Structure 1
Amino acid sequence: MTQTAVSVNKATMRDIPKILSLINSYAAKGMMLPRTEFEMSENIRDFSVAYDGDVLLGCGALHFYTPTTAEVRSLAVLPEVTEHGIGRAVVESLAAEANENELEAIFAFTYVPRFFERLGFHEVERGELPLKAWKDCLRCPKFQCCDEIAVLKRLRPQLWHAPVQYYNGVDFGELIQLPLPAKATTFR
């Protein structure tokens, strides 16, 4: 494996066509959700990009879900340069952004958990994560039989607590998507 020195920068509107091309090439293989120009325009501030000259080598997004958690998503690397450290550089840049925003944890849904494990993530149950299914997963063709693996990296382990709390079988994480205090309130 050859490492490629790469700098990762925040994406701009002019990056949209290249990001769309890269992401949608993976979506055509069933490995990612397809994105539209409208979705990219709406979310371009979430994205970071790695270039070699004019060639987009990789991209990824940090999408905030709660005041303490965000998802690393739309991570894609040009197939010719996989195993060159591009994905690592993008994820490390997104993790640094999460730290700058004082997040407690970042998570991802992936088919390659070992990649994320090498970056300090670990496999978790979906219930440990903020509910995202109703926002993004509903439009996924694999919604009823999702085969992606949830991974999480605790950026501030001393502060992290699972954002899902239950009361009489109701998942309050599904209702509000915000972490509850470490000590759940008793309702009567």
Structure 2
Amino acid sequence: MNQHITLTPPAQSLLHLSFDADQRGSGLGHTLTRISSTTPDPTPRVGVHADGLYFAPGEQLLLRVTASGAAEKNNADAFDSFQIIDCVIITRPQVIQRGAGLASKYSPPSPFLQAIGSCYPLQLDFRATVNPLTHDNVRIVSQDWKGSLDIGVSPGMWDLSLVLTVRITRGPGAISEVRVFWFDPETEVGSTGTMK
């Protein structure tokens, strides 16, 4: 008797980080989008998960970094491209249960199965895409990470920081500059325990 086993691929979400090559601040814009899943909104604006990142247990996380910048011709400061020098995710676990008569419970060090501890440097293996200049001479360059992160099934809450160091290249003869960008939303996987 032959039985065919069909494996369902895990749900996937894309974390899209963005910056402008000329921005003065160091904040990364970010959106989390479900690619294939029926789980709740990954970046809700209202409710208990508002303004955080909500991961579904067992899903895969993909990463894209996009930079944009003015690219006028004959301008030595025109944005050309960027190279990712390092990309590190730091997770700080939160208490998920405590109170009178309750044993304290803590989230694991990281929601990502690949991370043993709270710091996880991403392997620098990205695929770049350069888009045509926009009508107002803005160049947009995206880099997609070739790997993925697996979200664990244990519920938990974390303060998550992602620190990104990039080398920004500009027009002919311009000196490249190295910048550090970051973001740090609260993150949750599944439904956590009780706080009293």
TM-score, normalized by length of structure 2? 0.24
Task: Give the structure with the higher percent helix.
Answer: 1
Q: Which has the larger radius of gyration?
A: 2
Task: Give the structure with the higher percent strand.
Answer: 2
